[in-house]
């Protein structure tokens, strides 16, 4: 099953490679991993999307907690959460396709952020499924380039993950 893990870790050189190294050394899956400093510059917030049986996810959580640089680990699947990902797509947009692509982007609440005579660059935000759905909705042959950030997650309601 797919799990989305939130981590707070020391914002130190090498902390990312400790996490990445753990996943590769123990053969755990990483679907995506995002990390950036928080409002407290000594701390980074990381979101890891992974998959595995309940036993594997339990081990991943325990092994992450064991890393000295990791301050907190939370499995967002344990409660309601919100997940967002940013995607930038450069598409071929010529002739009659220009209007159609614009309409499709609007339907998905995407924004065209760069334009040339022959291309659009579209910005889209949402959960993974929505971004996938957009890519399915347009003609595959029109896609020139896609860039995705991987998911960032946060708990719903007043619950917060902090030190």
Work out whether 18 is an interface residue with another protein (CB under 8 A): yes
Q: Which residues are CB-neighbours of 51 under 8 A, at least 6 positions away? A: 1, 2, 3, 29, 31
The residue count for binding another protein (CB under 8 A) is: 20
Q: Which stretch binds another protein (CB under 8 A): 7-15, 27-35, 120-128, 134-142?
A: 7-15
Q: Does 25 bind another protein (CB under 8 A)?
A: yes
163 binds another protein (CB under 8 A): yes
- Within positions 48 to 77, which residues make up the interface with another protein, using CB under 8 A? 55, 58-59, 62-63, 65-66, 68-71
Question: Does 162 participate in binding another protein (rule CB under 8 A)?
Answer: no
Nearest to 3 by CA among 25, 35, 28: 28
The pair of structure tokens assigned to 122 is 């579209």
Q: What are phi and psi of 115, to 5 degrees?
A: -135, 135
Half-sphere exposure of 151 (CA within 13 A, CB side): 26
Site membership for another protein, residue 14 (CB under 8 A): yes
By beta-carbon proximity to another protein, the closer residue of 26 and 111 is 26
Distance of alpha carbon 55 from alpha carbon 8, whole angstroms: 22
Rounded Cα–Cα distance for residues 76 and 79 (Å): 6
Rank residues 66 and 118 by Cβ distance to another protein and give the closer one: 66
Contact 42, 10 (CB under 8 A): yes
Judged by the rule CB under 8 A, the positions of this chain that interact with another protein are: 9-10, 13-14, 17-18, 21, 25, 55, 58-59, 62-63, 65-66, 68-71, 163
């Amino acid at each position: 099953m797919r799990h989305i893990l939130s981590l707070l870790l020391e914002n130190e050189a090498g902390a990312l490679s400790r996490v990445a190294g753990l996943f590769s050394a123990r053969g755990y899956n990483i679907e995506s991993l995002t990390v950036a400093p928080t409002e407290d510059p000594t701390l980074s917030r990381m979101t890891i999307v992974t998959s595995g049986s309940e036993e594997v996810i339990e081990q991943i959580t325990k092994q992450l907690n064991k890393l000295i640089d990791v301050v907190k680990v939370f499995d967002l699947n344990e409660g309601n959460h919100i997940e967002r990902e940013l995607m930038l797509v450069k598409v071929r947009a010529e002739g009659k396709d220009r209007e159609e692509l614009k309409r499709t982007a609007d339907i998905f609440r995407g924004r065209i952020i760069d334009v040339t005579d022959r291309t659009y660059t579209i910005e889209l935000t949402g959960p993974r499924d929505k971004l996938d759905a957009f890519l399915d909705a347009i003609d595959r042959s029109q896609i020139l380039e896609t860039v995705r950030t991987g998911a960032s997650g946060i708990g719903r309601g007043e619950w917060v993950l902090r030190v």
